Homo-oligomer: A and B are copies of this chain.
Amino acid sequence: MTIQTVFEAMRTDAAPGQEVRAADGLPPEATGETLRGSPVDFSHGDVDAHPPTPGARETWLNGFSAGGRQAYTEYRGDADLRNVLAGRLAAFTGAPVNGREGLILTPGTQGALFLAMGACVTRGTKVAVLEPDYFANRKMAVFLGGEVVPVPFLYGPSAEQAGQQNGPDLNALEAAFADGVKVLIYSTPNNPTGAVTGSEVTARIASLAAHHGVAVIVDQLYARMLYPGETFTHLRALPEAPASVITVMGPSKTESLSGFRLGAAFGSPELIDRMEKLQAIVSLRAAGYSQAALQTWFDEPEGWMGARIEDHRAIRDDLLKLFHDAGWEATPPQAGSYLYPRLPPLSVDLGTFTHLLRFQAAVIVTPGTEFAAADIDRIRLNFSQDHAAAVAAAGRIVALAKRYAA
């Protein structure tokens, strides 16, 4: 594989947040008037509508004032902070976290995922990647020279049909492990669907991984925004869990701290140690002053998290009603702020439709093909937006889909 083919294989042309670099102007398929309304960028959350955790700014200022001690932490992050966070992450996930040897702070959860993959994947390593799942998972495996083994992610109707809970198709997963897969990476809540991998499926993943000697990287970025009535199972806390588990979390989403670029990975000390060796040549450390803002993490004011979840539940329910009223298939997310509706049949392809949405409806969405090659009729919306603006924008999506109906 030449360096050119490596980069062709991991192309990011439709990556969320990069729309400004996409083609300009109206495509030739465009008909009709522009739909007016407040622009909404569903490719990521709106931290102005849902602002950062209280105290984040002040802790950054304290970090800056602390000077060199805060600027030059260990590569894996400030030692005192790691100890504090270890306790909070252990309480949240239900199993001990070793602050000295088993936790690393990273530039965003993207940084944590890359280091975790880099610690496990080299030339020829077989990596199970779910479809659909977070778009970077496949790309990281490709860049690192791994061999991607796709495994279907079942949710809603597809899970019911297979007779299992939401999660990876267990038959396909077992076959992949038996075929020599050595690394499994997956997100739960799943990005883009918001489906949470069920407790029985999680236990089965754990025991299969332990049996086949598979390292498991679990991206739990959205695990805190769990809607009422839902339950979440932390694989790392199960008795069946293998030794090589890395759990990834961070304050970029629910807590709106994305502008600080902070993430955390915790689990196997051997893998964390490799991740730090890799961080030493990738970025050295998460920005020192930014790290200070993690003092607010899992220590938000009383009621703050509950209110944030309730705000998002309300937006979720209004968008779901809007799509369902239009006759669209849209599985209710159990956690997080992603909706992944299926489009009705259109006369234009998915790329053209998302392009039309940008220029005729002032709406940015992420095409489903970023998450699974087969998802040519789905779009992902991050509905962590101004409530009214999001509902209005979703209405424009439905209207434009009618205009370009097949």
Contacts and interface: CB of A to CB of B under 8 A. Distances in A.
Interface residues of A, number: 68
A143 interface: yes
A57 to B, nearest CB: 6
Interface stretch (A8-16, A161-169, A303-311): A8-16
A213 interface: no
**Main SS class of interface, A:** helix
Contacts of A114: 281-283
B139 A280 contact: yes
Contact of A277 (B1, B11, B118, B283): B11
Contacts of A261: 107, 261, 283-288, 290
Contacts of A136: 280-281
A101 to B, nearest CB: 10
Interface of A: 1-3, 6-7, 10-12, 15, 17-18, 20-21, 44, 46-48, 51, 57, 60-61, 63-64, 67-68, 70-72, 74-75, 79, 106-108, 110-111, 114, 118-123, 125, 136, 139-140, 143, 145, 258-261, 274, 276-278, 280-290
Contact of A281 (B70, B110, B260): B110
Q: Sorted from nearest, which 7 A-B pairs have the closest CB atoms? A: A71-B259, A261-B287, A259-B288, A107-B283, A48-B67, A259-B289, A110-B284
